Every structure is written in structure tokens, then in C-alpha cells.
Amino acid sequence: MMHLRSVIRQLLLTSLVSSFGPTAPLLAQTAPAPAQQPPQNTAPDQAGPESDSGPIILKKKDPAAETPAPAPEAPKVKNPNNETFSLRVDVPIVNLDVNVILDKTHQFVPGLKPGNFAVLEDGVPQKVTSLRMAQTPITAVMLLEFASNSYYYIYDMRNASASFFHTLRPDDYVAVITYDLRTRILTDFTNNKEVIAQALQSLTLPGFSDTDCFDALYETLDRVSRIEGRKYIILIGTGRDTFSKITLDKILAKIKATPNVTIFTIGTGAYAREMADSRGRMGSISRMDYLQADNQLRTFASMTGGLSFSPMFQGALPDIFAQINNSIRNQYVLTYTPTNTQNDGSFRKVKVELVDNEGHPLRMQDEKGKPLKYSVIARDGYRAKLPVE
């Protein structure tokens, strides 16, 4: 009986060994090892510190959860009919070239201040905002009457044009245009004095006897209006017009409408006309024609702030062109904002006067205390812009 119980116990032990495998006795006999403690100075990794309950995982926060909610969008205001409107402020500014010259010596008067200039536009006083002196190279056109009407007129024209040629500086640009029945461009704007000299030397055989001064001046104004900056026209001729398609009223309107152009006129044939008149060879009609021509030349110059001369002798030419150069290269530039801001294309009449600190007419005197007479030369007006300009 005891032997049978031993056999049964042995069989049960054998079945247990086969069930747990060869390591079962080791696990049954070996006590569990204690858990290793982390070093005291070791920092926890990204998964966080470990504990008996397992690792603690720190989840990253959602960026969308941290971003504050956007502000509500402002309501859009729509123009009626989806039209787009713009605001434009156009403040007109007038730049006025002014020369102040002594009547006796024709010298330029320097040293004037903004308060010495009184500007009237259509009779309304204007405030001068700035004043500066300008001495710049010139851009000029020599407009020469070259017709087969009188040798003396051609002789005076050639002498006057040569005198002006000798006053040119290296940085001056000059064009040469002649006229009789037609207008001819001998040379375009150039600062090459040799080219200008060759153009003047080519004036040997005139063509027609007609002198269409109005047409020639109109065409010249039309050409120089396309050039930026201040331009000058040196008109040398008798001033007579015999066959122009343009009338006097139209050429005067063209002069008014052409900005930044100053015309200087030099009449030719004064001595020949004086001699013919003294000998009774000039009739009343011819005398009236030449008086009208002289008046036209003076009008062209005065309207643009230029000067007009009618020299009797050739010896006066150097002084004349010295005065023209002094007037061209030395001038005051006034700037003012007109009180009439309407862009209506109307012609604004401008008058410039010199005043003292108290607003009275400015008086000048020489070193001996004698009063000096002077002339203020400026354009007589300008044409306002149109709304579409």
C-alpha cells in the first residue's frame, strides 16, 4: 500500500515537470531579484520617470489648442455698383523767370530777396514761396530772316548772328533756322561750334523775296515746345510779314500758349531804312510797314520776358549780345502757388514789381546817391492747365 502511494506521487511529480518545462525548477527555486534603482544624479529621459506602475508618458500639446482664436473679420464696405473711387489733390505751382536790369548800363541787379518781389495774378497778390538765382547753359534757336529783298538786311543779319555765335559757351545748345517763303532747318540743336559756323557760312544765296515771319515763328515755337526746360529764340530780321498763312492774332495766341520760351528780337536794316527815309525814297506805306514790323518784334519779346533791339550800327552788336547773355544766364526764378486753383485753361495775367520792406516801390541808387532806373522783365502771363492734363 505504501509502495503504491509512492508510485502515484512519483507519477504526479513527473507530470508537473513536463508541464512547466526545464526552467520551472529554476523559477521555483530562485527568489525574484530586487528592482534596480536609478542613479540619484541621472536626469529623467523624455519618457519621464519610471515607477512601479509603469512609465509616465508626457504628451505634446496641440499647437492649435494654444493659438488664440482669431479676431472677427471687419465687415467690408462696398462702393455702390462695385465702382472704385480715388482721391487726387492737384496743387498748381507757377515758376516765373524774372530779370531785373538797369536801364542805363543794362546790368543785372543781384542780391534781391523774396520780399522784394510783388507778384500779381489777374490783379490778385500772390505769395512768393521761394526765390533762387539761376545761371545755366542755354538752349537757343537762331531764327534768321534770309530773303532776297535787300543786301543791307542780309549783311546786318549775318553780322548779328556771328556776334551771337561768338558768345556761345561749350555747354550751350543752338539750332539754326532760316526763313523766307519757307522755313529751313540748317542745323538741329548741337553744342559743336564748328557745325554752327558751317551753317552760318552757308548763307550766301537767298531764295525768295517773301518774308513769312509769322509762319516761321509759329513752326519754331511748335518745335521747341517739345523740349523740356527753358528755351530761347533769337529772332534776327526786319519783322515784316508778307505772305504768311498765320495771322498776327494766331501767332500772338501761340506765343501765349507756349510755356518756357523767351524771345529776343534784333531788327535789321535800321541804318538803310533811315538813309532811304531821309532821302525821300521811302513812301508812307513802306514807312508804316516797317513801323508795324518794329512793333511786332517788340511785342514778341515783351510777351515772353525778352528784349528787343534795333541797332543802327554794327558796333552796337557786342553790347547787345552781352546784355542778352547777361539776361539769359543770370535770372531770378520765383515760385508761388496761385490763389486761383481752377484748371480751366484760362490765360492768367501776371505782373511783377519790386517793393521795399514796407511794400512801397523799391528805389535804387548808385554810389553817389543818384536814383537808378531799372526794368523788371518777365512773362506777362501763363495759361492754366486743363482738367485732363
- The 10s digit of each residue's pLDDT in 306-318 is 889 999 998 999 9
pLDDT at residue 102, rounded to an integer: 85
What does the pLDDT average to over 2-9?
A: 56
pLDDT at residue 67, rounded to an integer: 55
User: How far is residue 260's CA from residue 379's CA, in Å, rounded to a whole number?
Assistant: 9
Ordered DSSP codes for 29-83: HSPPPPPPPPPTTPPP-TT----TT-PPP-PPPPHHHHSPPPPPPPPPPPPGGG-
User: How far is residue 246's CA from residue 228's CA, in Å, rounded to a whole number?
Assistant: 25
What does the pLDDT average to over 61-70?
A: 54
C-alpha cell at 364: 535804387
Which one is predicted more confidently, 240 or 15? 240
- Mean pLDDT, the chain, rounded, equals 81
C-alpha cell at 76: 467690408
pLDDT band at 28 (very low <50, low <70, confident <90, very high): very low
User: How far is residue 208's CA from residue 210's CA, in Å, rounded to a whole number?
Assistant: 6
3-state DSSP call for residue 320?
helix
Torsion of CA 368, 321, 231, 255, to 10 degrees: 90
User: How far is residue 221's CA from residue 143's CA, in Å, rounded to a whole number?
Assistant: 11
pLDDT at residue 84, rounded to an integer: 55
Confirm if 107 and 199 have CB atoms less than 8 A apart.
Answer: no
Confirm if 98 and 377 have CB atoms less than 8 A apart.
Answer: yes
User: How far is residue 35's CA from residue 52's CA, in Å, rounded to a whole number?
Assistant: 9
Q: Classify residue 326 by burial, with Cβ atoms within 10 Å: 0-12, 13-18, 19+.
A: middle
User: How far is residue 198's CA from residue 13's CA, in Å, rounded to a whole number?
Assistant: 140
Percent of all residues in the chain with a pLDDT value above 70, rounded to a whole number? 76
What does the pLDDT average to over 162-190?
A: 94
Helices (H), the chain: 2-20, 24-29, 63-66, 151-165, 193-201, 213-224, 248-257, 270-278, 284-303, 317-329
The edge-to-edge listing of strands for the beta sheet with 94-102 is 128-134, 331-336, 94-102, 374-378
pLDDT band at 197 (very low <50, low <70, confident <90, very high): very high
- Which residues have a Cβ under 8 Å from the Cβ of 308 and sit 6 or more positions away? 264, 265, 266, 267, 297, 298, 300, 301, 302
In the chain, CATH 3.40.50.410 sits at: 136-329
pLDDT at residue 150, rounded to an integer: 85
Rounded to two decimals, the pTM is: 0.62
User: How far is residue 71's CA from residue 69's CA, in Å, rounded to a whole number?
Assistant: 7
User: How far is residue 295's CA from residue 267's CA, in Å, rounded to a whole number?
Assistant: 10
Task: Tell whether the model's pLDDT for residue 216 goes beyond 70.
Answer: yes
What does the pLDDT average to over 208-216?
A: 93
Class assignment of domain 136-329? alpha beta
Confirm if 264 and 307 have CB atoms less than 8 A apart.
Answer: yes
pLDDT at residue 198, rounded to an integer: 94
pLDDT at residue 76, rounded to an integer: 59
Task: Tell whether the model's pLDDT for residue 363 goes beyond 90.
Answer: yes
Task: Tell whether the model's pLDDT for residue 71 goes beyond 90.
Answer: no
pLDDT band at 205 (very low <50, low <70, confident <90, very high): confident
3-state DSSP call for residue 190?
strand
